Structure 1
Amino acid sequence: MFRRLGRVAAVAALILPLAAFSPQNPECIAPANPGGGWDFTCRTVGKLLTDTGLVSGQVQVTNMTGAVGAVAYANVASKRSDDPDLVVATSTVGITQIAQGKYPAGVDAMRWLAMLGADVGVVLVQKDSKFNSLQDLLAALKADPGSVVAAGSSGVGGWDHLRLLMLLEKAGMATDQLKSVKWVEFSGGGDAVTQLMGGHIGVVSTDIGEIGGFIQSGDVKVLGVMSGDRLEAFPDAPTAKEQGVDFEGYNWRGFYMGGKVSDEAYDGWLAIMQKLYESKEWQETAKSKGLTPIWRGGKDFEAFVRQSEENMRKVSKAIGVIK
């Protein structure tokens, strides 16, 4: 009986916030122009919230571009920090900018709501490469950081670059060696893989959603994916974790709220977002857009954001991107 009562209480705890709070004029700020990842997050999630009846009425999407999200961050912090109706789209890119001091305030300025999905980082080599496992590659780079040229779709200090370095650090590379890893930027993951296949570079670190077709065709070899579990779409690709390196490199999609919103509003939005995540509509939409559905919410998500920011800041200092 007590177990049954416990289950009932747990269900009630999840339902009550949703019943107690409902945004009156729901709005999502996309800190970029229409067509980008943050715009996609606001518009896709906003439409599904309406279609599933989780919010009443339409979710207004406001595009507020500038400085890779810093303009929106400053606006919310100074003018709308207690707005119960407002959520803001963010991602790994935003946390990278905060870690490198490019936003007007740190993570404490906001309340971090939830992550609903992510594109997962992957480490690739040529199909006939001498490296047959992630450990093979990591051992070679730890022995001689400049022995393999790495590439991805971001510049030095960008997320593709940082997550490879964080993976190496987690595997035991000394922090002062990280800056010696050779890195080349390409305009996209597909371009980087094309150069990999041509033998111009030795390894690619990028989002798996960008280059999944190359994996499916057998043109490249996957050494490891940076996720907690194997991916449904690529079940044969081993994770870094199962190869002894406990590291997850997600380019996630999520939301924050103003730092002064009430617990009622925060908990209410948290319950709404979790209901959306669990819906068939979100699961199908996320997968159709190349995302892996991944949930982190509330305190768990806030802890994840803080740890990510700390790790990124540490590596950024090590390679000289920041002082």
Structure 2
Amino acid sequence: MSMKRNLLVAVVMAAGMSATAASAAECIAPADPGGGWDFTCRTVGRLLTELGIEEAPVQVTNMPGGVGAVAFANVAGKRADEGDLLVATSTVGVTQIAQGKYPGGVDVMRWVGMLGSDVGVIVVPAASPYASLDDLLGALKDDPTSVPVAGSSGAGGWDHIRLLMLADSAGMTGDAYKAIRWVQFDGGGPAVTQMMGGQVGAVSTDLGEIAGFVQSGDIRILAALSDDPIPAFPDAPTAKAQGYDVTGYNWRGFYTGGEVSDADYDGWVAALNTLYDSEEWKAAAEANGLIPVWRGGAEFETYVEQQAQQMEEISRQIGVIK
């Protein structure tokens, strides 16, 4: 643990703990470079160093596989007590846990904090024949197999669930919207790349993962799944504004191993809270379409437990699990 994080621990614990020698922290991004988890690790790691919260640069390790399951298993089985380790996660990961797709429940890890909430989007290539959400959902209603749609989660994952919620809001029956052709990629960036190559017709993902493609003009946002327009892309229409009462936020945060000491855990909570309060984090978050939101420590652990229960209920309702 870095010496500065030890000082934060001392404040939080109100005890005379001695500082240990500085060591480099590590952040595992459970996906390939370019996705939302990779962005979370790299941006947070960079700012922790630049702001002096961490004394040494934070090492980022990409560990793709199983929509986060490989990293989860690695930490649970081999690194459960490593106090210098963070793992990026989100609503996507908790949904996978709720559906039994990870080797353990939310109680296996210690949930450190969330720094912001990403907004779900439905995007198409710039030259797509679908000019609006109505056009896309109309095509799927006429023939659910006509437009392959991709995302960074498997069937029944959060990206897929958000699409099915829109299909349901459009009046499609359960049997019809379950027939939509869903293609999984390990990250929103790879999904968009394949869409631009013609392999799929639309992508359901998080804006933070693919904001660069929007800025470059390669793709268009058919719908932002937010209550209000996204500050970074105010012209992107919301699903609500188009008559579909659907939102789909995806928080961005971190867990650490279930056997990490209270001292190390509280140090990470304090460090991330300090980062969250900085103007640098607010600017980085908003530039990538994130809405800054803070939950940390015990409050965040309760929130994750409640969200896992909610995702399990939704998954049962749409028939993903029994």
Is TM > 0.5 for Structure 1 vs Structure 2?
yes
Sort the Cα spacing of 1:172 and 1:316 in 2 relative to 1 into closer, same or farther, 3 A.
same
Equivalents in 2 of 1:80, 1:89: separation in Å? 15
Match of 1:58 in 2: 56
Equivalents in 2 of 1:34, 1:177: separation in Å? 32
Contact 1:18 1:272 in 2 (8 A): no
Amino acid at match of 2:245: V
Structure 1 position 144, deviation (Å): 5.7
Amino acid at match of 2:12: A
- Count of residues in Structure 1 that have an aligned counterpart in Structure 2: 300
Contact 1:29 1:86 in 2 (8 A): yes
Structure 2 stretches lacking a partner, 5+ long: 1-6
Amino acid at match of 1:279: S
Contact 2:95 2:311 in 1 (8 A): yes
Sort the Cα spacing of 1:142 and 1:314 in 2 relative to 1 into closer, same or farther, 3 A.
farther
Structure 1 position 99, deviation (Å): 3.4
Note the 1:133-212 alignment, pairs <5 A. 134=133, 136=134, 140=138, 146=144, 149-154=147-152, 156-157=154-155, 158-169=157-168, 175=174, 177-184=176-183, 187-192=190-195, 195=198, 201=201, 203-209=202-208, 212=211
Contact 1:228 1:248 in 2 (8 A): no
SS of 1:101 mapped into structure 2: coil
Contact 1:316 1:322 in 2 (8 A): yes
RMSD, aligned α-carbons: 4.4
Match of 2:108 in 1: 109
Equivalents in 2 of 1:213, 1:61: separation in Å? 24
Contact 1:32 1:64 in 2 (8 A): yes
Contact 1:153 1:192 in 2 (8 A): no
Structure 1 position 124, deviation (Å): 3.9
Match of 2:4 in 1: none
Sort the Cα spacing of 1:318 and 1:177 in 2 relative to 1 into closer, same or farther, 3 A.
farther
Contact 2:82 2:257 in 1 (8 A): yes
Amino acid at match of 1:27: A
Give the TM-score normalised by structure 1. 0.68
Sort the Cα spacing of 1:195 and 1:142 in 2 relative to 1 into closer, same or farther, 3 A.
closer
Contact 2:9 2:270 in 1 (8 A): yes
Structure 1 position 225, deviation (Å): 0.5
- 1:1-38 CA distance string (max 9 Å, x none): xxxxxxxxxxxxxx987733598556334155884544
Contact 1:29 1:62 in 2 (8 A): yes
Match of 2:275 in 1: 276
Sort the Cα spacing of 1:67 and 1:229 in 2 relative to 1 into closer, same or farther, 3 A.
same
Sort the Cα spacing of 1:192 and 1:280 in 2 relative to 1 into closer, same or farther, 3 A.
same
Structure 1 stretches lacking a partner, 5+ long: 1-14
Corresponding position: 1:19 with 2:11 = yes
Match of 1:6 in 2: none
Note the 1:1-323 alignment, pairs <5 A. 19-20=11-12, 24=20, 25=23, 27-30=25-28, 32=30, 35=33, 37=35, 38-55=37-54, 57-58=55-56, 61=59, 63=61, 65=63, 67-68=65-66, 69-78=68-77, 80-81=79-80, 83-117=82-116, 119-124=118-123, 132=132, 134=133, 136=134, 140=138, 146=144, 149-154=147-152, 156-157=154-155, 158-169=157-168, 175=174, 177-184=176-183, 187-192=190-195, 195=198, 201=201, 203-209=202-208, 212=211, 222-241=221-240, 243=243, 245-250=245-250, 252-261=251-260, 265-286=264-285, 290-298=288-296, 301-306=300-305, 308-310=307-309, 312-313=311-312
- 1:36-78 CA distance string (max 9 Å, x none): 54455334423322321224x2255373736444344234335
Sort the Cα spacing of 1:174 and 1:62 in 2 relative to 1 into closer, same or farther, 3 A.
same
Equivalents in 1 of 2:78, 2:153: separation in Å? 33
Equivalents in 1 of 2:121, 2:62: separation in Å? 31
Equivalents in 1 of 2:249, 2:8: separation in Å? 34
Equivalents in 2 of 1:141, 1:18: separation in Å? 59
Structure 1 position 237, deviation (Å): 1.9
Contact 1:98 1:107 in 2 (8 A): yes
- 1:105-124 CA distance string (max 9 Å, x none): 01121222222245532124
